[in-house]
């Protein structure tokens, strides 16, 4: 299996190198450069490799997750904790942080629910930041207090 992957990587690398030399010149018009077949082929190769990497990463993560019941339990706790943080952030967001008519005057059509969702995202960021900093401080203090 390892040899097959190496051969595939060599073929993809050679194809990428060949396509690199087929790219349009630097002074080519933008319209012509964006319609270049070599450029489009390079994008497709990138999309395919990115898709394969995402699928393999997800597959290995799920295999590892379901191989141990303790992992499933920890994952459920993390997901429930994150949903709890999102719920708290949603409750804390009031949706009146920005004036809707003022946003409309600037050409940004929005509603109070959209502003509440943005506020929720900002609150989630700050809550998770506080949790992360608190965990680092707690770990440092605990390590300092409990010496082995």
Count how many domains the chain has.
2
User: What are the tens digits of pLDDT across the range 58-115?
Assistant: 999 889 888 888 888 898 999 999 999 999 999 998 877 677 777 778 877 777 888 8
| DSSP letter (8 states) at residue 28 | S
* pLDDT of the residue at 92: 92
CA distance 114 to 91: 14
Higher pLDDT, 124 or 25: 124
Cβ contacts of residue 128 below 8 Å, gap of 6+? 85
Shared domain for 129 and 89, answered yes or no, is: yes
* pLDDT of the residue at 148: 61
* pLDDT of the residue at 89: 95
Shared domain for 123 and 79, answered yes or no, is: yes
Q: How far apart are the first and last CA of the chain?
A: 45
Instruction: Tokens 């942080």: give the residue.
Output: 97
CA distance 21 to 38: 9
CA dist list (Å): 97 to 6, 104, 105, 112? 54, 14, 16, 9
Both tokens assigned to 13: 């690398």
Shared domain for 53 and 80, answered yes or no, is: no
Cβ contacts of residue 106 below 8 Å, gap of 6+? none
Domain boundary residue, one of 66, 96, 121: 66
Cβ contacts of residue 94 below 8 Å, gap of 6+? 116, 119
Domain boundary residue, one of 66, 83, 114: 66
Shared domain for 52 and 73, answered yes or no, is: no
Shared domain for 44 and 80, answered yes or no, is: no
Structural domain that includes position 6: 2-66
Contact in structure between 101 and 76 (CB atoms under 8 Å): no
* pLDDT of the residue at 100: 75
User: What are the tens digits of pLDDT across the range 17-59?
Assistant: 888 888 787 777 877 777 778 888 888 889 998 999 999 999 9
pLDDT band with cut points at 50, 70 and 90 for residue 127: very high
* pLDDT of the residue at 8: 87
Shared domain for 140 and 79, answered yes or no, is: yes
């Amino acid at each position: 299996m390892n040899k097959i992957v190496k051969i595939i990587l060599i073929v993809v690398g050679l194809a990428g190198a060949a396509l690199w030399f087929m790219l349009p010149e630097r002074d080519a018009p933008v319209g012509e450069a964006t319609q270049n077949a070599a450029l489009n082929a390079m994008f497709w190769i990138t999309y395919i490799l990115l898709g394969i990497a995402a699928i393999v990463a997800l597959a290995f993560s799920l295999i590892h997750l379901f191989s141990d019941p303790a992992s499933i339990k920890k994952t459920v706790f993390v997901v429930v904790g994150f949903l709890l943080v999102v719920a708290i952030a949603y409750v804390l967001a009031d949706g009146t942080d920005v004036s809707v008519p003022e946003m409309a005057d600037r050409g940004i059509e929005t509603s109070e629910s959209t502003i509440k969702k943005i506020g929720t995202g900002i609150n989630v960021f700050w809550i998770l930041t506080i949790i992360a900093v608190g965990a680092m401080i707690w770990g440092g203090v605990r390590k300092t207090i409990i010496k082995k």
